[in-house]
Amino acid sequence: GQQLNQSPQSMFIQEGEDVSMNCTSSSIFNTWLWYKQDPGEGPVLLIALYKAGELTSNGRLTAQFGITRKDSFLNISASIPSDVGIYFCAGQDAYSGGGADGLTFGKGTHLIIQP
């Protein structure tokens, strides 16, 4: 099945720094989603992307759907302590047909902000 490679696995940054993470897939996706998971909670949707080349912002977060449809990135500007958590990319394979509507998730990027 499709695979998602998410990098980096973890990031140690200073408050106020910008953050960038990305995901690449082995196949073409028609949907890219970015989630954040806080400890003890379920993933919360941050940004949804539906078209190649689409660039979408949500406050300090910006995500883009790659032109090749095989990658996406998420940027966080001016990080603050509450940005700490695990960020997941997720996508739906463009050739899933009538079968798997479920998402394929990356392994996550652990964001740690140092005081």
Summarize as ranges the residues that interact with other proteins (CB under 8 A).
31, 33, 35, 40-45, 48, 50, 88, 90, 92, 99-108
Provide, rounded to whole angstroms, the least separation between the CB of residue 13 and other proteins. 22
In the complex, what is the shortest distance from the CB of residue 97 to other proteins, in angstroms, rounded to a whole number? Answer: 11
Within 10 A of 94 (CB to CB), how many other CB atoms are there? 15
Q: How far is the CB of 79 from other proteins (least distance, A)?
A: 23
Nearer to other proteins, 35 or 73 (CB): 35
78 vs 100 by CB, closer to other proteins? 100
111 bridge partner residues = 11, 85
DSSP track, 6-47: EE-SEEEEETT--EEEEEEESS-EEEEEEEEE-TTS--EEEE
CB neighbours of 2 closer than 8 A, spacing ≥ 6?
A: 25, 26, 27, 29, 91, 93, 104
Backbone dihedral region of 65: left (phi > 0), alpha (psi from -120 to 50 degrees) or beta?
beta
Least distance (Å) between residue 99 CB and other proteins: 6
Nearer to other proteins, 46 or 79 (CB): 46
Query: Which CB, 32 or 73, lies closer to other proteins?
Result: 32
